Homo-oligomer: A and B are copies of this chain.
């Protein structure tokens, strides 16, 4: 497996971008993805009950052999009721008219401010330019077009040698805030030129997303627009079958792409200055391990202590204590900050020194490991700290 960052490409998948001036006038804010005929397409969506209009439409169109994906940033088309749904459907019709396709073959996606109507006329005016710019090598430009408060584009590319030939996997994502995906992250699009039947593609994506995007959190807020799409054009001629020899290698590469995108989202979390890996071990169940990890990850007190590089491990301990493990025996709990044991036997570890804790906290990448001593299950959750800038970015977002 080799990282090919230079002009990645997926045969049979073209990307076009344009600036529609939805929120800002100095950048691309719409992205059109075109899939070759015969491609298969899988997707996972937000579990937020108030899902955005485009999510509702994309979900309905997913079974119609999608050929185009239309993404806009700057406006989420969420909380927009019946008009929002009509706007999302109309954007599909516009793409269909320009490409001589059917509206049902278009999947719409939006990200940005919630609760404002989509400026459809702006999108309509810009779409011909996006169509004209369609290009197999435009992944970098595409990654930039879907950004909102992200400070950098997120693009991951892999080539894997399989039986039958080489296969490409390229993915882009946007993240930044309102990140506690509960199904998939805000927006992620992954393409491959492998040939994968739709049901298997869906299984592969669901598993990879659950272990990557669903294990990250910036602020605990699940977006109304989370969507992750996996597209397979088949143009490499290499077939991935459930029981075939290519399956494990392909699944592993897909997982690696998702993991890397998920990590990039956390590292670029709003205002983030630290990258924290929370590992919870010896839990009764994976769900329990994830709950403990997320309770730590969501604690504003833990997050602000990390921002301050303060080894205030009492806040981690308090978060574990309130995470709701039934009959937790605190005497069996151990907590590690990097390679320093900070808690054992229900209290501060005997060998712990503030200096040792301080040394770990001075790093940018910090691993917190919680050993519960009550089972065999473990989980890993990625998160970031909570800084002045998080407050600043979110207090000023709409102004």
Contacts and interface: CB of A to CB of B under 8 A. Distances in A.
A390 B397 CA distance: 19
Which of A300, A308, A388 has the most CB atoms of chain B within a 10 A radius of its CB? A300
Given A224-B321, A299-B220, A317-B115, A391 B394 contact: no
Interface stretch (A17-25, A72-80, A241-249): A72-80
Interface in A289-344: 298-301, 304-305, 307-308, 310, 312-315, 317-322, 325, 328, 330, 343
Contacts of A113: 312, 314
B49 A328 contact: yes
B318 A222 contact: yes
Contacts of A84: 347
B301 A394 contact: yes
A221 interface: yes
A221 B330 contact: no
B390 A347 contact: no
A2 interface: no
Interface residues of A, number: 65
Nearest to A50: B321
> Which of A115, A223, A397 gathers most chain B CB within 10 Å?
A115
A362 interface: no
Nearest to A84: B347
A334 B299 CA distance: 29
Nearest to A350: B81
A348 B81 contact: yes
A387 interface: yes
A244 to B, nearest CB: 39
Given A220-B300, A222-B321, A310-B398, 13 more contacts: A48-B321, A49-B325, A78-B314, A79-B313, A115-B313, A178-B301, A219-B301, A222-B318, A304-B391, A312-B397, A387-B391, A388-B392, A391-B391
The 5 closest A-B pairs by CB, nearest first: A81-B347, A114-B314, A50-B321, A308-B395, A115-B314
